[in-house]
Amino acid sequence: MKNKKLRVAILGVTGAVGQEFLSILEERKFPLAELKVLASERSAGKNVKFLGKWMTVQAAAPESFKGIDLVLSSAGATVSRRLVPEAVKAGAVVIDNTSAFRMDASVPLVIPEINASEISKHKGIIANPNCSTIVMAVPLYPLHEAARARRVIVSTYQAASGAGMKAMRELEEQTREVLAGKKPAPKVFRHPIAFNLFSHDSAIREDGFTEEEYKMIQETRKIFRTPELKIVATTIRVPVLRAHSESIVVEFERPLSEEEAKKILQKSPGVEVVDRRKENYFPMPIEASGKDNILVGRIRKDPSSENGLAFFVSGDQLRKGAALNAVQIAEILFS
């Protein structure tokens, strides 16, 4: 970015995504005139490190946003609904990483590789999609552009990090407990996460879908501008520390061969093809962790569908699935 330096506030800085914001702003040399680190009253007074210096976390309040140009928010939907409008009133643009505004028709829901043109339409708020949506959509969209997706079946394998730092610590602690012959007592999750997997820990809707599944369906339709797109999602929490994986099966309007799909994906921004059949070497969350790109592999014809294709992805949901996506939006917005 070559333009003026910006006064930036991170809302929810002590959380997993907030910490990732700090890391990515530093890595990408984001042009900062000022950085304000905000969190709940409970976290106020804690210290976070940025550019080798310790910064004291302040309690977030409506007056926190005076003179701020950009707010990167990951403080949870309830907090966002209360404080984001106050930040907009103060003159800031907010890139919100919660579910609070994603399905608001007046708020752009943006993945830069797909619909960067929506950024300029903002009215003070730009929404970051759900992490599972981003991990699926980045590789799916270029294939959709080429052959038009009609139906998508997705199953997720979601890491503990999707539920925050406490959930990551719980996985580590429970793993030690199980290996020591002890019975783990869940605190963050409803069920034991070590050596186990279970349906995503979001609320179950009346139709039987989790809120996480509903988000993936509705958000993808909005981002792709395809309200008619048929999607069914099954979201599962797995004992992986970081980075989500997804199995995706797509039915297109026209045939799309493995070779054509691979060529498209190899040219697509935000995607790295990892598809070495002879070695049985495909995307893995351990290799996606810390990477900006979504890893894509297991690309193969779906024999049950005339125009079907199946593939597997892994992506770091704290980076591209959250903080990186938001910073990329900011870079476009202010450049």
What is the Cα–Cα distance from 168 to 175, expressed in whole angstroms?
11
Residue linked to tokens 């730009």: 126
Tell how far CA 179 is from the center of its chain. Answer: 31
Among the options 122, 131, 144, 200, which is catalytic? Answer: 131
DSSP conformation class of 13: T
Catalytic-residue membership of 191: no
Q: Write the DSSP symbol of residue 24.
A: H
The vertex-157 CA angle with 190 and 103, nearest 5°, equals 85
| CA–CA dist 119, 331 (Å, integer) | 11
Question: Is residue 131 flagged as an active site residue?
Answer: yes
In 3D space, the residue among 115, 160, 119 whose CA is nearest the CA of residue 142 turns out to be 115
**What is the per-residue burial (b if ≥16 Cβ within 10 Å, else e) of 198-231?**
eebbbeeeeeebbbbbbbbbbbbbbbbeeeebeb
Residue from 122, 144, 200, 244 carrying the catalytic annotation: 244
Helix spans in 148-245 (H): 165-179, 211-224
Q: Which residue has the tokens 């060529």?
A: 263
Two tokens, residue 308: 């079907």
Task: Find, among 44, 42, 47, the residue nearest to 19 by Cα.
Answer: 47
258-266 and 131-147 helices, crossing angle to 10°: 120
- Cα gap 124→266, rounded to integer Å: 35
Alpha-carbon span 94 to 96, nearest angstrom = 6
Lookup result for tokens 């395809």: 226
Q: Is 158 helix (H, G, I), strand (E, B) or coil?
A: strand
**Residues acting as catalytic residues:** 131, 244
